[in-house]
Structure 1
């Protein structure tokens, strides 16, 4: 409206004045409802061209958007495993701090597994004690077998010496019997040593391995018991938390609730501008927004980051070829904006929907000499045209409560 009024002042009004004072044509006589186009055709045409040009320049260098919001993060309250709730420590809408317990799952099975592991450790310890006693017994058997073997060998040697001096003193059957006795005692000694080695191997290798396995099973069971209690990972408020003892919780199908981190979404907004504004938006651009959650207020912001990609162009490989025309939404340029002055957006709840307008500025480029001469003059005019959008957004902030409360959709 402002652009059309300005265009009419420099096009239609001079044309009318020329017709009136130079050609003597009067409004309501020569210039009437039926002849206004013919008489003022040059002014009307120039007005239309100028108005369209002004609107194009203003909306290009000072883009507007109705997609401004303050996104906030939510954390799903999940357990590491499915199970039934045994105890609940907090209630809905309660503020929790990092490390506070939220709820605990039933751990009867894990406690039984831990007790089994403890009994297994005790069993292995008892087996170690028995094995040590068996090792002592095996050592004693080896000592006894060595003594018997030595005695039998001495007896065999003595009999063989007697037989060599006088064959009639010792018979061959007796010497053969003593030889067999020695061989039997040697086998007994070897068996005793093998038994000792087996007991020592079980004591040094098998039983420690069994105890380590039992300790690992106990540690696993204790870990499962500890993981059965779900703790808050950050400070925040618990929402949609209706958990009761006996309820079934599944980390895939049924989360317990939502934790909204403290301060999430505060002081930072996300705005989506049209793709045609990609060359205008850059960090440092001034933006003004007005929100329904804080009516009658215009909040000055500044762009701190411009997303380098457009979300609508992302591609996830699948078993079908993508046809570009199937992507109906063109996507927007995502910009991250923050309040220009601290505290101005503190009373805007996270998730609020707002409208905004960005203002281009060529002041730095002009001062740096990058733009000079007639281009600098035109750039200053373009920057000054932002006042039209500034007036519009202030009018919208005034009319927004009326539109929502009196004329709802």
Structure 2
């Protein structure tokens, strides 16, 4: 049972376990994505395992992904798509979701609702002959949408398929599927390598604040403050990370001085590139950050982490006289992404280049933000 300090009636959040979900698209969103007290967002469709998600602006996510490719010197679209495919298969196997069971896409009522609440766009079938062609309109992310829809088709047909996607217009893409006789094992659960915990305590104040100015523009497209948003599961990001690691040798561009408490050198490179790309994406969005005392970072964390499911700042304390701050995260979607966002906030607040160092203790992630150059006292 989900606990809430301000609302003991959890029927509101039970829509995926009912036969008839709410008819109002806004209610569907609010009732599926549960804002928790530790700054994460839980998918209310979780069953066997908890599925955590983050809310991204589609532009920020695309810029982050392109920046990651640039820094690592690799094209990563296929790896993101295959991570999405594997994630969706695992998700359908380990949640209360209803899997597609036939080739008629119009009957995929749950899957369509899934796409609508994730903000992914819409899909339809063009051809179902030897080669299957599906149309995805207004995709939030071409690789992610292609992988998710391929996985749903494989579930429906109980057969593996090779897939490619191509841009059909500015607003759509064609997904082409061909039968593949490969036998692949079921995906395993992805375990984060940093301290993390499960929490079911819903923060209703944060929930209300996070959905202000929500607008559902069409099926599969919704926005907040005129920015289109999308939902991405942590399981998908972790699988994407794992798919990238074998190919990483170095960082081709961007910063390389971020410190992580990781033994795996390839994972350190991925986290560094991911954090720096997220820093740049958020810095360029024109953040206005004011800091007058260390405790302000709790407010900053709420606005820029918790409202997007990236985590929560538990405490903050200064460690030098030039803005250096030690931040303890109560929980985090991913340290590299949360760290990149907070580094962008630090640089906006202080008007100079900062640096990031991360450490783990027994139950939390610690971030150290400070100036990248020595400043005389």
Which of the five TM-score ranges fits, normalised by the shorter chain?
under 0.3
Q: Tell which structure's C-alpha radius of gyration is larger.
A: 1
- Normalized per residue, the structure richer in helix is 1
With the length of structure 1 as denominator, give the TM-score of the two structures. 0.15
With the length of structure 2 as denominator, give the TM-score of the two structures. 0.16
